[in-house]
Amino acid sequence: MSNLSKEWAHSSLRGMMLIREFEETADKLSLRGKIPGGIHNSSGQEAVAVGVLSALDPLDVIATTHRSHHHTLAKGFSAREVMAELFTKSTGVSRGRGGSMHLGDFHRGHFGGNGIVGAGVGIAMGAALGIQQRGDAKVSVGFVGDGGVNTGRTWEAINMAVIWKLPLIVIIDNNQYAVETFVDRVTGGGDIAKRGEGFGLPSYTINGQDVVEVNEYTAKARQRALAGEGPTIINALTYRYYGHNVGEKGQYRTQDEILDWKTNRDPIDLFIARATSEGLITDSEVAALRDDVKKEVEDAVDFAEKSPQPDLNSILVDVDSGLLGGK
């Protein structure tokens, strides 16, 4: 007997498959020059996004990084509006003004991606302070990479969250590399999670390829935050399959290493194996989901291509309203 529901299993698997299909497609479109400015592909990191977001309430806040398509799709933004934003079209998440690195909509609890490495946790901490002051029953999640976690601003924000017991969850989307730099070469003290102990908060290193484990730890952190006990750090070990950004080939990694992660630790394959063995899904249902997400992404590309560019005259409207994707 599984302790997972069939509904959760299907929606989590579909969520991860959608991200994979979206990213594989976006990568090709970017290489063909269809997407201005390039992208940071999150293939391989699906379980972190889906595991975290499936443990949150839709009104909870997230603030993310330059690599944020997976977080944004897992938060429930449609493939259409995310793809349209990558194409910088007016129908995009941020009305075509942000592109790949600035997906967001304050009204829907998405405080954006951004190009400043290490900024996400500080933004999420500010949102957590707002949540606390208003007395809302919500939490705020800040995503940061294994590179970004070595920035001072990240720890300043964590310190504030600890002393004020803010409802903050820090997710380290630890894909092992900051551009070409392997995490162990630049991380003092070994396990990043140990740093949390010095700040006096629970801090865990977990298997970021296991969507169930990510979900369980996030749910626990959310309970703690809602109970007014303060922040939690979750260091989710994962891997990016592609280079740092589109066109960068990742030649600082061996083919054996990449193959090992893809063959033995792929989050989608691992979850299919588990869900199948626990009787939660059949082979034909898996095939149907694959088909379904393929159609959804094809439709998203078609929608993005046919959508209009933003109207230049309305640029100040968005600036005035202080929204990334305000409608």
Interface contacts to ligand TPP, rule CB under 6 A: 65-67, 115-117, 145-148, 175, 177-179, 244
The Cα–Cα gap between 281 and 9 comes to 8
Those residues with Cβ within 8 angstroms of residue 128's Cβ, 6 or more apart along the chain or in another chain = 61, 139, 140, 161, 166, 167, 168, 225, 231
| Least distance (Å) between residue 141 CB and ligand TPP | 16
Interaction partner, residue 96 (Mg ion, ligand TPP, none; CB < 5-8 Å by kind) = none
Question: Closer to ligand TPP at the Cβ: 144 or 324?
Answer: 144
Interaction partner, residue 66 (ligand TPP, Mg ion, none; CB < 5-8 Å by kind) = ligand TPP
| Least distance (Å) between residue 116 CB and ligand TPP | 5
The Cα–Cα gap between 120 and 158 comes to 11
Interaction partner, residue 116 (Mg ion, ligand TPP, none; CB < 5-8 Å by kind) = ligand TPP
Nearest to 268 by CA among 62, 16, 59, 95: 16
| Least distance (Å) between residue 145 CB and Mg ion | 4
| Least distance (Å) between residue 306 CB and Mg ion | 35
How many helices (H) and strands (E) the chain has is answered by 13, 7
| 133's tokens | 């002051």
Residue 190 DSSP code? S
Q: Any contact of residue 92 with Mg ion (CB under 5 A)?
A: no
| Least distance (Å) between residue 114 CB and ligand TPP | 9
Interaction partner, residue 179 (ligand TPP, Mg ion, none; CB < 5-8 Å by kind) = ligand TPP
- In the bound state, the residue with its beta carbon closest to ligand TPP is 145
Q: Any contact of residue 145 with Mg ion (CB under 5 A)?
A: yes
Nearest to 211 by CA among 75, 11, 59, 41: 11
Nearest to 250 by CA among 40, 106, 57, 103: 40
Residues 40-69 that bind Mg ion (CB under 5 A): none
Q: Any contact of residue 175 with Mg ion (CB under 5 A)?
A: yes
Span near Mg ion by CB under 5 A; candidates 21-29, 90-98, 173-181, 295-303: 173-181
Question: Closer to ligand TPP at the Cβ: 13 or 171?
Answer: 171
**Residues 119/152, Cβ–Cβ less than 8 Å:** no
The strand pair at 181-182 and 203-207 is best described as: unpaired
Element (H, E) at 174: strand 168-174
Question: Closer to ligand TPP at the Cβ: 121 or 281?
Answer: 121
Handedness of CA 167, 173, 176, 178 (dihedral sign): negative
| Least distance (Å) between residue 46 CB and ligand TPP | 14
The Cα–Cα gap between 33 and 26 comes to 10
**Residues 291/72, Cβ–Cβ less than 8 Å:** no
- In the bound state, the residue with its beta carbon closest to Mg ion is 145
From candidates 81, 146, 210, 318, binder to Mg ion by CB under 5 A: 146
End-to-end CA distance of the chain: 45
Question: Closer to ligand TPP at the Cβ: 69 or 274?
Answer: 69
| Least distance (Å) between residue 241 CB and ligand TPP | 12
Q: Which residues bind Mg ion (CB under 5 A)?
A: 145-146, 175, 178
